[in-house]
Structure 1
Amino acid sequence: MAARAPSTQTVVGPRSRDPTAEITASRPSTAAVSLSCSCRPATTTCAGSFSRAGSRTTLGATLAELTADPGRAPLRDNLVRVARLGLAFYTDSFPIAVSMFSSRELLRSHRDRVDGAGPRIPLKGVEGYLCAEVALGRLKAGTDVEAVASLLLGACFQQAFLASFEEARPSEVDELGARLADTLLAGL
């Protein structure tokens, strides 16, 4: 895969009207990160907060932390952590997210209210973290971070869908998070 041109990724606070602003949101659950990344083709801006309901640990804050200092823990540990938080995030938010799709008008209204923030926020956060891993050399140059992030969060989303449909929690979230990370790493 050919190397991509350098770019910058910024994660900004909720409902930011200025997509170029690098701000820290007024709420503690919102991530704020800026990094240079050679694995993204163009500037990417992510606006919003994504948290696990009832928990101090948020997916957004964790991704900001991992992006800022990816080498603090082994790559596998970081991916397991992201997978576990992704499972919790999607499981907690899936019922509400699905209800928005029951009405096109409700979805349109919500989309207007979040002003650019939305379901791509977690994906872009994982992409930013993976770019930091590429820069650190723990993922090979040319890794398609968009595809890797999609595979990881897509699996988390699918498990949340199944749990919601079955009116259950994903079984053994810790084990499942580790299995998802291990399977992903085997392909990298």
Structure 2
Amino acid sequence: MTAVETGYAPPTPPGPGPGGRRRLRWPVVATVAWAVLLAGLTWWSVRTDPPTVKEQRSLDQAGPVVDRAIGELTAAVGGAGVPALLSDRLERGCRITPLDDGATLERGVEVAIGGDDVRAVLRGIADRLPAQWRAGVSTLDGEPLLRADAGEFVVVEGRAGGPGRVLLTADTGCRPVGSGYRALSADAAAESAVLAAA
């Protein structure tokens, strides 16, 4: 047991001096400034920046892009074959987030070709598509595959569709439905203008 002398207070450790208090304030000030800066940048971004992912653009916004893409694809076939429009495929129930359902729109063109050189046909189509689509033909599982970006996160693909056939598609991927996709009428401008030019 340790003897304690009476009349003496035990020594106390030195407290933070004026310099120590200043050092503690800086992290708090820096954290508050960072939070204010992030809040300001978030507000500005929400107000001014366009969407950067397909999930933010609804199906009714992507539908006209798909329609124009089908017109461009049909025109790009040129003399390589005889194109025929396929039925629209609208599939609901895909998941955008764990809580939100969406839908996918795919439109297609089937091209009857005279020979069996699918790669040459796809290359010719890729060369005639708009330059900003960055269309190219690669190989997937030993088969030629045309890929392009029609804008607004609409993917364009082309592949063999069976003997003497090439299948060209434009696909939105999973998106919010919005007001929904309205199928084109016979005189709709988005597709018919490109087809008329062809």
TM-score, L = length of structure 1: 0.24
| Between structures 1 and 2, the one with greater helix share | 1
More strand by share: 2
Q: Which has the larger radius of gyration?
A: 2
